[in-house]
Every structure is written in structure tokens, then in C-alpha cells.
Amino acid sequence: MTTSTLSLSRGDNTMARARLPIADDKAMLKAAAELTRDLVAPRPALYWTDLIASSAVGYGALVVAVLVSSPGWAVLAGIVAILALYRGLSMIHELTHVKHAALPGFRAGWNALIGVPMMIPSFMYEGVHNLHHAKTRYGTSEDPEYLPLALMKPWTLPVFVIVSMLAPLGLLIRFAILSPLSLLSPRLREIVVARYSALSINPSFRRRMPQGEEKARWHRIEAITSVWAMTLLAATATGVLSLPAFLTFLAIGSGVALINQVRTLVAHLWENEGEVMTVTAQYLDSVNVPPPALLPVLWAPIGLRYHALHHLLPGVPYHALGEAHRRLSAVLEPDSPYYKANYKGLPGLVGKLTMATLRGR
């Protein structure tokens, strides 16, 4: 039986850290595998309906936010646009797990409706997120989506969240300036690919250069996104697109980035210091926010409210995670570690993480 460790408390560098070995819970893992075998097939009609509806509502609300004269209605429309586009953007997570043959054309459709307009094309996540699910990478220095936030200074939490609001500006620079310039400099191209082509939170992560079919697809989508970004800037500079409209677009993009970063903040407990963890330890370091909580429908859409369960069953599509949760909850014993990853809501999770950082000062 393999084991790993999960921090229980944190002091400064002069204090010892208590650790608890966490072995894989075979009963939970077996139940998760056996009870969900019929849930792995994605439902194309649902995927397309969700994507198209999110896009239509999001961009429609964006237009209203730009055109309406009442500040109150503009703010309300902006909030609707943020939530709808955030939902659509969250489907990038599905692109990294679903077999594309089971959803023909969906990657292209998602890029056309969400990825390119929001300047977050699918290659920014594909080839990156899968590393987060690698059993020997999760929570280590090789995990692009992990930082031991619970073990860091308290000021890192607000900085982690607030800096995300600069994402639209960073993306404009990435695609309108760095992309075309990198065509002239192989060295700059290496830097752009390694450091500015991944949705990651680990500052030490460096992405490899794409190869083969991935390279061709990457360059094609990047070129389209670059043209879109340059067109936005040119249209604004020439007055074709009004400055208020451009700033509204950036503000809504910042709102999408902000809510995603808050969701990321509570997706895990962030208590691992770099050791390789068992699957059960990874599960317990992750977070479910199941019903009866209602607000996770907004801030953790597309199955993200079952993030811990997703780490047990990464192949189960988002629309089936609720059913998987119900099946496991119906058969697992009350003392199963499965229930220890379930939390009531966002405030308690933020408070738990904040207290962890304060205890570590």
C-alpha cells in the first residue's frame, strides 16, 4: 500500500511540521471506478447547447452593458455577461479531458465562440492541465496548477486574486504584440511559448515547444487570436470601436478572470509541500461543494463544484459528476474519506485557507 503526506499544521522555518501519512482508500477508489463506468460518455447535444447558450447570453449582455444609458442596468448586464462568459470559458476544462472523436468539431466551435474572442485559445490549457492530473506530478514542483498557498504568507492570498484582474491586458500584450514579434526572433519565440502560453499558477513551470499536429493546430489558432487582438486595438485606436466599449470588454474580461481566480483559490486546500501524493491524498487536498449549496452553480460551473470527485474520475464528463456523487454517497460508509472533501460553501473555504496562512506566520 502506497502512502503520502498531507500537512496538518504549519509553523515558521524553526518549527517542526506535523504530518499524517495518508494511504489510498481502496474501498473508495474501487467504488468510484465500478459505480461510474456507464457515465463516461459525453452528451454532445448538451455540450453544444451549453456552449451556444453561454456565448449568446454572455455577448448579448456585453452589448447591453455597452449600449444601455443607465449605470445600474449597465452594471447588471455586466454581471450577467461575466457569469455567462465565465461558464462558457470553463468548458476549456472539458476540452482537456474529453475524447475529441466523441465531440466532433467541439474544440473548433469552442475556440470560435469563446477561446479566440476572449483571447484564451484552447492550446493555453491543452497539454498543461493533464500534467496536473498526473499521479506523480500533482502538488509537486512539476505541477503547473499547484502552489502551496496554505503554507505561504497571508498577503499572498489577496495578491493571488487581485493580480488576475490584469489578465485581459496581459493577453492583449501576449497576442497583439509578442505573437507577431516572436515570428522575427527564435529566442523570443522560445520565451513566449515557455512562459506565456499556459494557464498555470506555478511560476516555475515552463512549457515545451509544440510538435507535430499539435504545433500546426497551435499556430493556426494562435494566428487567428493574434489577428483578433490586433484588430481590437486598431479598431479602438481609429475610433471604429469606442473607447468605452473597449474598456467595458476589458472590464468584463477582468471580472471573468477574477471569479475564476477565486474559484481556483478554493479548488484545493493547497497544503502539499512538493511530495508525491497518493490518489486519496490528492482527493483530500481537493474540494467538493455539493448540494444543497446553490451559489456554486455560478462560481463553480461545468462540474467544478465536484473538483475533488473530478480528481478521482477525470474521465467523467461534467454533466455526469452530480450523478456520480449521488451514487457514491449512497453506498460508501459514513467513515469513508470521500465525505471529508465535501464543504458547505465559498466563505468557509476562504476562511479555512486564510486561517492556515495566519497560523503559519
Burial track 44-63 (b if 16+ CB lie within 10 A, e otherwise): eeebeebbeebbebbbebbe
Domain end call among 213, 246, 262? 262
Are residues 212 and 183 part of one domain? yes
Rounded to whole angstroms, the maximal C-alpha distance in the chain is 66
Cα–Cα distances in Å, from 325 out to 23, 291, 318, 336?
22, 10, 12, 13
Are residues 290 and 213 part of one domain? no
- Number of structural domains in the chain: 2
Residues 173/179/184/188 CA torsion (nearest 10 deg):
70
Are residues 113 and 28 part of one domain? no
Cα–Cα distances in Å, from 349 out to 209, 287, 334, 353?
37, 9, 22, 6
Encode pLDDT of 188-223 as tens digits.
Answer: 999 999 999 999 999 999 999 999 999 999 999 999
Domain end call among 262, 288, 312? 262
Tell which wins on pLDDT, 15 or 160.
160
Are residues 61 and 114 part of one domain? yes
| Rg of the chain in Å (alpha carbons) | 21
Are residues 80 and 62 part of one domain? yes
Are residues 340 and 224 part of one domain? no
DSSP string, 263-321: HHHTTB-----S----HHHHHHTB-B--TT--THHHHSTTTTTBHHHHHH-TTS-GGGH
Domain end call among 262, 280, 297? 262
Encode pLDDT of 301-347 as tens digits.
Answer: 999 999 999 999 999 999 999 999 999 999 999 999 999 999 999 99
Are residues 17 and 78 part of one domain? no
The model's pTM is 0.92
Are residues 253 and 282 part of one domain? no
Are residues 73 and 192 part of one domain? yes
DSSP string, 40-60: -S--HHHHHHHHHHHHHHHHH
Encode pLDDT of 10-22 as tens digits.
Answer: 333 333 344 556 8
Encode pLDDT of 130-157 as tens digits.
Answer: 999 998 999 999 999 999 999 999 999 9
Are residues 311 and 247 part of one domain? no
Are residues 141 and 116 part of one domain? yes
Are residues 289 and 221 part of one domain? no
> Residue 180: which domain range?
44-262
